[in-house]
Structure 1
Amino acid sequence: MTKDLERDLGLFAVVAISMGAMIGSGIFILPGVAMAEAGPAVILAFVIAAILVVPAALSIAELGTAMPEAGGDYVFIERGLGPSFGTIAGLGTWLMLMLKGSLALYGGMFYINFIYSLPTWNLAIPGLSATLPIPGVRALGVTFAILFIIINLIGVKQTGGIQSIMVVIMLVILGIFVTTTIVQVDGANYDGFFDEGIDGILAATALVLVSYAGVTKVAAVAEEIENPGRNLPLGLAISLGVTAFLYALLVFVLVGVMEADELADHNEPMARATELLFAESALGGVPVGTLAVAGIIFAAVLALVSTANAGILTASRYPLALSRDRLFLQKFEYIHPRFNTPTVAILTTGAIIIFIVATLEVDEIAKMAGAFQILVYVLVCGALIAFRERDLEWYDPDFFTPGYPWVQLFGIVSGLFIITQMEAQEIIGSIAIVIFGFVWFKLYAEDQIEREGVAKGLARRQAGKQYVEDTETQLERQDEYEILIPIRHDVSREQEDALIQLAAPIVQRRGGHIRVVRFDEVPDQIPLDTAAENVSEADIEFEERTDELVRYLEVPVEVGEIVSHDTRHAVVNFARRSDADLILARRRATSRLRTLLGRDTDWIMEHAPCDVVFVQHEHRVDIDEIAIVTDQSPFNDPLKVELADAIADVLDARLRFLFAVSADAPDELTKTIGDYHAELDDLCTVPVESTVVRSDNHVEALSQALGSADVVVLSTVTHRRLPDLLIERRSDRLAAAIEQPTLLVHSKKTRRGSFLRPILDRILFN
């Protein structure tokens, strides 16, 4: 059975991922270092660097829409130019990402040191009486690196929502900085603009290239992007354009408000500039400088530390991918059985980052990272040319790079030229990684693989995915009733069987089919295609037992699997693509505190394109009576009755309607409820009994009245976090008070209601 990979990243997520990976060292660390190379013309270095990145970004966008799978630039180069170049690209990208993460981690500590002078750590040397002094900035950077290694080892989830919030916060803070400081720019600081000459500008360009390394990071998750033909190129263009414009503005301000020597001498230029500009300002007795510096430092640490943490995650994927493709040591393919993370890859990546932070200077890290980045970008442009010139039938991207092949040729020539303008250390490093990668491939990997360039392996991978795409196309053409049963890893075999047995009568009555899909959620540290290739015993058992169960059911059942980083998004997106009419899923009883943190079930109800039913408690095999607690909902009640009647009709069971009123409720209300039940009765094809429960404690009275029922059907709506934490909904309290299997029904037409809804429910329905 082929596993599908879930696409749940929209345009905003693409922009957020790309910008979040770029906004960091480029503005918070490098302006001062680059100023020492180019003088006031440093602003041109940032603009030229952005232009040099454009060919690779456009190539990545085209290749990503043609081959939307995890791996990004490494995959494109390996499939296009062959595994030998893929080895070079994989190792080069791995080193570049480790250097970029180290730069962000090391640089972030300077901002902490700006407000609190970090003391020197004296490290005792075993066997000697001497100690090794370690600057506090490096020591704290190493400490954070160890923390992030642990976080990635245990697979703590990193969400796109947090990334988006972080990007918005940084843009707001940096926007405020620009608008409040640009009027204070001193034009005299730009005297001698070209004093350092073209050599200085090119040297600074090579230095700041790492500022844009994140623009193509999103290509590594290309297979998770919705509508990649639009969102990938547009997202890359927006993120690169906005970031380059923001960099230019910020550098313009920094050069214009600080003396050249002072700017060049600081690794925390944003904090220093803010302190100088607002030192004497006050607002309501509070020094504005203190607040402004605190805001800038918060943004810097947020950006740089987040980039460093994400750098370990992203960088560790490359030795894993190389190992998986038999281009590197197989031990890097090891996945921890408990945490499901690539332990060896993360530990090795983290160890190298610690070494870099402990030994190299900021400018050395930036220059070496820029050299490896340009090398990879040159190979990306070459890979696109290889795909275009081979006239492959399957190569049909949704986006074509304008100006081909001149854009790619410009990217190759300009990239190689910039490398030649770097210092000897970076040139030697670039040559060394090419030689090492080629020699490693020849001595280690060449005899283990049979692939060649331009995607012999990719064709097999795409053929495997075709099953799910063909099935989805077929489902979109059918007009019958479809029930989607999402199965998570925590659903037992008995619970899975119960869901299918509940769905079978509905489909048998209405016609259509059941789609049972197992949703495997893997940590962000694991690329989706790697997880999809691993077929476990649980996968085989799932397929076999599902096949065994459906043999005796008189309805068609289809089975599939989807791998994603976020199950709730995957469930909703699959339901939308397959045009499902109903989602039938398990729901655990959760604490009220969980409501405050946010329930996955609420998110599914709010975003699902169809009706949703959650099943709580264990299912009973024999069903004689189905009880429906009505609440006069114009949407949920008809749906509850329709589903319950279908189950009862096929299983030869009876229905009972229940409604709770207060003990002193007038007879007119009781009669109104009776009439309402009679109207619902007209929808049913099985015997129906109506019961009105009188009590001042509705939950207790209803739970007692439901004692004879085999299945209970309730309404449910999405929860509001704080109100529902304070006042629990009646349906939740009732479901917790009974032991029978309970169907919690939510119609797609149901409106969520305001924050007052749970309060009114508590007053009206106790």
Structure 2
Amino acid sequence: MAKDLERDLGLFAVIAISMGAMIGSGIFILPGIAMAEAGPAVILAFVIAAILVVPAALSIAELGTAMPEAGGDYVFIERGLGPSFGTIAGLGTWLMLMLKGSLALYGGMFYINFIYELPTWSLALPGVGMALPIPGVRALGITFALVLIAVNLVGVKQTGGLQLIMVIVMLVILSGFVAGSIVQVEGANFDGFFDEGLDGILTATALVLVSYAGVTKVAAVAEEIENPGRNLPLGLLLSLVVTAFLYALLVFVLVGVMEGDQLADSEEPMALATDLLFGGLTLGGLPVGFLAVATIILAALLALVSTANAGILTASRYPLALSRDDLFLDKFEYIHPRFNTPFVAILSTGAIIIFIVATQNVDEIAKMAGAFQILVYILVCGALIAFRERDLEWYDPDFLTPGYPWVQLFGIVSGIFIITQMDPQEIVGSVGLVILGFIWFKLYAEKRVEREGVAKGLARREAGRQFVRDTEEQLEQEDRYEVLIPIRQDVTREQEDALIQMAAPIVRRRGGRIRVVRFDEVPDQVPLDTAAEELSEAEVEFEERTDELVRYLEVPVEVGEIVSHDTRHAVVNFAERTGSDLVLARQEATSRLGTLFGRDTDWIMEHAPCDVVFVQHEQRGNVDEIAVVTDRSPFNDPLKVELADAMADTLGASVRFLFAVSEDAPDELLETIEEYHDDLDDLCTVPVESTIVRTNDEIEDLSRELESSDLVMLSTVTHRRLPDLVIEQRSDRLAAAIEQPVLLVHSKETRRGSFLRPILDRLLFD
């Protein structure tokens, strides 16, 4: 049974990933170092660097829509130019990302050091005012590196939502800095704009190129992007334009508000500029300047630590990919059996980052990272030309680079030119990487691989994927009732069997099929295609036992597996893509604290394109009576009755409606409820009984009435975190009070009520 890979990164996630990788060292560390090279023309260096990235960005966008595979630029180069160039690209990108992570860790620690040496902080915090020595700054960077390595080793999940929030917060803080500072720009600071000449500008350009390495990071997760034909090029270009504009504006402000020598000597330019402008400012006794500096320092640390963490996560994927393609040592393929993360790849990546932080200077790290990045961009442009010129039938990207091949040729020529303008150390490093890559390939990998650039196997694999897509589209057109049963890794065999047996009567009545899909969630540290390659013992057993159960059912059942980094998103995407009519899933009872932090079930109910039913407790024995607790919901009640009737008809059971009213409820209300139950009875084909429960304790009395039932159906709605923390939903309370299997039913037509809904429910029924 083959596993599918779930695309769960939308446009905003692509923008957040790209900008989150770019907004970091580029503005918080490099402006001062670049100022020392180019003078006030450092502004042009950031703009030119963005322009030089465009050819590679457009090439990556096209290749990513033609081959949306995990691995990004390495895969494109390896498939287009061959495994020898792929080896160089993989090693180059690995080194570049490690250098970028090291730059963020080491440079970020100067912002912590800024706290110690800043006079205005000494006034606010007595005893503070001494600077840490450089070894102390390095030690801080190494400490943070060790923590982040541990985080990645155990597979702590990264969240696209958190990344998006961080990017928004960063944009707000930086925009506030520009708004408050731009009016204080001094024109005299721009005198001698071109004094350092073209050589200085080009050197600074090479230095700040690493600021735009987010392009490479997006390429590494191309296979996880939904609708890549639109979201990849649009998200990539939008993030590049916005980031370049933001950089140019921020550097303009920094140059305009600080003396040239002061900026050139600064290792924490954003914090220093904020302190110079607002450090002593107070408003009504409130230390506004102190808070402004604190905000900038906090923003810098969050951005730089996030960049370093993303660097470890993304960089570790490259030796793993090289190893899987037989281009690197086999030991880098090792996946830890407990944490499911590439242990050797992460440890090696982390060790090299620690070595760089301990031994290299900030400017040396930035320049070498830029050199390796340019080298990879040159190869990406060359790979696109190789694919285009081969005129392959299967190469059909959804996005075509405008200006081909001139854009790619410009990228290659400009990249080579920029490398020649670098210091000898960077030139030797770039040439050395190429030579080392070729030597390694010849001595180690060449005898292990038989493929060449643009391999036939890729064409066959893409043709197979197209067949699957065509077949899926054909199936979607059939008018059949689809029940999706998502199986998580923690669901037992008994629970899975119970879900299928519950779905079978519904499908048998409506005519259609059941899709049983195992959703495997893997840590972000593991590429999806790596996790999908081999079946574990549990996965083989899942396939075998499902096939065995299906043989005894009278409805068609299809079984599949999907690998993703986000199960809830994958479930919703699959339901939408296959046209599912009902999602039937298991749900464990959760605490109110779990509701406060957000539940996956709520997210699925809110986003699923179909009806959703969650099952609590296992079914035991025969089902003779199905109880439907009604609540006059215009959507949930009819759906509950429809499902109950289908199951009762097939199982030979009866249906009982229950409604709870207060002890002093007027007779008119009882008559209304009886008439309502009669209307619901008209929807049924099986015997129906109606019960109205007078009570002052709804949960206790209803649970007592339900003791004779074998299956209970309740309505559920998405939880509102704070209100439901105070007043728990009655469906949750009732489900927890009974032992029978419970079906929590949510119609796709249901919309969340206001936050007053739980309070009104309590007043009406308690």
TM-score range, shorter chain: over 0.9
| Aligned counterparts of 1:135 and 1:549: Cα–Cα separation in 2 | 64
Unaligned runs of 5+ residues in structure 1 are: 119-132
Name the CA distance, whole Å, in 2 between partners of 1:471 and 1:597: 40
Which letter does structure 1 place at the counterpart of 2:526? I
Compute the displacement of 1:279 (Å).
2.9
Q: Does 1:46 align with 2:46?
A: yes
Paired residue for 1:605? 605
Q: Aligned residue for 2:500?
A: 500
- Give the SS at the match of 1:728: coil
Contact 2:394 2:463 in 1 (8 A): no
Give the match for residue 183 of structure 1: 183
Q: Counterparts in 2 of 1:586-735, with a 5 A limit?
A: 586-735=586-735
Query: Is the 1:605–1:718 contact (alpha carbons within 8 Å) kept by the matching residues of 2?
Result: yes
Cα distance between partner residues in 1 of 2:667 and 2:191 = 91
Matches within 5 A, 1:80-159: 80-117=80-117, 135-159=135-159
For the residues of structure 2 that align with 1:650 and 1:621, how far apart are their CA atoms?
Answer: 15
Say whether residues 1:431 and 2:426 are aligned partners.
Answer: no
Q: CA deviation at 1:134?
A: 6.5
Partner deviation per Cα, 1:315-363 (whole Å, 9 max, x = no partner): 0000011111111001010000000000000000000000000110000
**Structure 2 residue aligned with 1:57:** 57
Displacement of 1:291: 1.5
Conserved 8 A contact 1:8-1:226: yes
Aligned to 2:744: 744
SS at match of 1:116: helix
Distance 2:79 2:752 in 1: 48
Task: Note the alpha carbon deviations across 1:210-264, whole angstroms, 9 max, x for none.
Answer: 0111123111111111211111111111101011111111111111111111111
CA–CA distance in structure 2, aligned partners of residues 424 and 761 of structure 1? 74
Once residues 97 and 207 of structure 1 are traced to their aligned partners in structure 2, the CA distance between those partners, rounded to angstroms, is: 15
Counterpart of 2:404, as a letter, is Y
Cα drift, residue 289 of structure 1: 1.9
Pairwise CA distance, 1:546: 1.1
Q: Is the 8 A contact 1:81 1:382 kept in 2?
A: yes
**Pairing 1:296-695 to 2, within 5 Å after superposition:** 296-463=296-463, 465-466=465-466, 468-695=468-695
After superposition, what is the alpha-carbon deviation per residue over 1:567-594, rounded to whole angstroms, capped at 9, x for unaligned? 0000001101111100000000111100
Deviates most, 472-481 or 729-738 = 472-481
How far does residue 471 in structure 1 lie from its aligned partner after superposition?
Answer: 4.1
Shift of 1:560: 1.0
Paired residue type of 2:568: R
* Structure 1 range deviating more: 108-117 or 518-527: 108-117
The whole-number CA distance in structure 1 between the counterparts of 2:431 and 2:393 is 36
AA in 1 matched with 2:181: T
Helix, strand or coil at the partner of 1:533:
coil
2:277 and 2:641 mapped to 1: Cα distance? 69
Q: Which residue of 2 aligns with 1:259?
A: 259
State the AA in 2 paired with 1:699: I
**Are the counterparts in 1 of residues 615 and 741 from structure 2 also a CA contact under 8 Å?**
yes
The letter of the residue matching 2:345 is A
**Contact preservation (8 Å) 1:513, 1:555:** yes
Normalization by structure 2: what TM-score? 0.97
Shift of 1:161: 0.5
Residues 697-749 of structure 1, C-alpha deviation per residue, up to 9 Å, x if partnerless? 11111111111111101100000001101111110011001111110000011
**CA distance in structure 2 between the aligned counterparts of 1:457 and 1:681, rounded to whole angstroms:** 60
Code of the residue aligned with 2:436 in structure 1: it is: F
The CA distance in 2 between the partners of 1:603 and 1:364, in whole Å, is 46
Q: Give the distance between the partners of 2:636 and 2:625, measured in 1 at CA.
A: 20
The answer (yes or no) to whether the contact 2:23–2:303 under 8 Å persists in 1 is yes
Structure 2 counterpart of 1:12 = 12
Cα gap change, 1:287 to 1:665, in 2 (>3 Å): closer
Residue by residue, what CA displacement relative to the aligned partner does 1:169-216 show, whole Å, maximum 9, x if unpaired?
110111011111111111111111111111111111111110111123
Contact 2:617–2:740 (CA<8 Å) still a contact in 1?
Answer: yes
Is contact 2:16-2:163 (8 Å) kept? Answer: yes
For 1:274 and 1:746, the matched residues in 2 are separated by 52
Residue identity (%): 83
Question: Which whole-Å CA distance do the structure 1 matches of 2:464 and 2:709 have between them?
Answer: 46
Tell me, what secondary structure is at the counterpart of 2:713? Answer: strand
Supply the distance in 2 between the matched residues of 1:337 and 1:134 (Cα, whole angstroms): 40
CA contact under 8 A between 2:280 and 2:290: conserved in structure 1? no
What is the distance in 2 between the residues matched to 1:759 and 1:371?
62
How many angstroms apart in 2 are the aligned matches of 1:736 and 1:319?
Answer: 49
Secondary structure of the corresponding residue to residue 558 of structure 2 = strand
Q: Does residue 21 in structure 1 map to residue 21 in structure 2?
A: yes
Deviates more, 1:557-566 or 1:210-219: 210-219
1:425-456 Cα deviation digits (max 9, x unpaired): 10111111111111111111111111110133
Deviation at 1:675, TM superposition (A): 1.4
Q: Given residue 635 of structure 2, which amino acid in structure 1 is its aligned partner?
A: F
Once the two structures are TM-superposed, the CA of residue 463 in structure 1 deviates from its matched residue by 4.7
Q: Secondary structure at the match of 2:712?
A: strand
**Contact map agreement 2:279 2:293 (CA 8 A) in 1:** no
- Report the residue type matching 1:209 in the other structure: L
1:301 Cα deviation from its structure 2 partner: 0.7
Deviation at 1:469, TM superposition (A): 2.2
| Cross-structure match for 1:37 | 37
Whether the 8 Å contact between 1:2 and 1:468 is mirrored in structure 2 is: no
Q: Distance in 2 between matches of 1:297 and 1:541?
A: 52
Give how far 1:666 is off.
2.4
**2:386 partner amino acid:** A
For residues 511-566 of structure 1, what are the alpha-carbon distances to aligned partners after superposition, in whole Å with 9 as ceiling and x for unaligned? Answer: 01111111110000000111111221222111111111111211111111111000
Residue identity opposite 1:559 in structure 2: V
- Equivalent residue letter for 1:661: V
Cα distance in 2 for partners of 1:472, 1:745 equals 28
2:332 partner amino acid = F
Residue 517 of structure 1: SS of its match in structure 2? strand
Partner SS, residue 4 of structure 2: strand
Q: Which amino acid aligns with 1:289?
A: G
What is the distance in 2 between the residues matched to 1:671 and 1:460? 68
User: Is it true that 1:755 corresponds to 2:755 in the alignment?
Assistant: yes
Q: Aligned AA for 2:271?
A: A
**SS of aligned partner of 2:532:** helix
User: Which consecutive residues of structure 2, in runs of 5 or more, have no partner in the other structure?
Assistant: 119-132
Deviates more, 1:671-680 or 1:705-714: 671-680
* Contact 1:26–1:210 under 8 Å retained in 2: yes
- Which deviates more, 283-292 or 303-312? 283-292
Tell me the equivalent position of 1:126: none
Root mean square deviation, CA, Å: 1.2
**Conserved 8 A contact 2:371-2:427:** yes
Check the 8 A contact 1:80/1:453 in 2, yes or no. yes
Q: In structure 1, what is the equivalent of residue 130 of structure 2?
A: none
1:286, distance to aligned residue in structure 2 (A): 2.0
- Does the Cα contact within 8 Å between 2:520 and 2:562 map onto a contact in 1? yes
Question: For the Cα contact (< 8 Å) 1:730–1:765, is it kept in 2?
Answer: no
Q: Provide closer, same or farther for how the CA distance between residues 135 and 518 of structure 1 changes in structure 2, counting only shifts above 3 A.
A: same
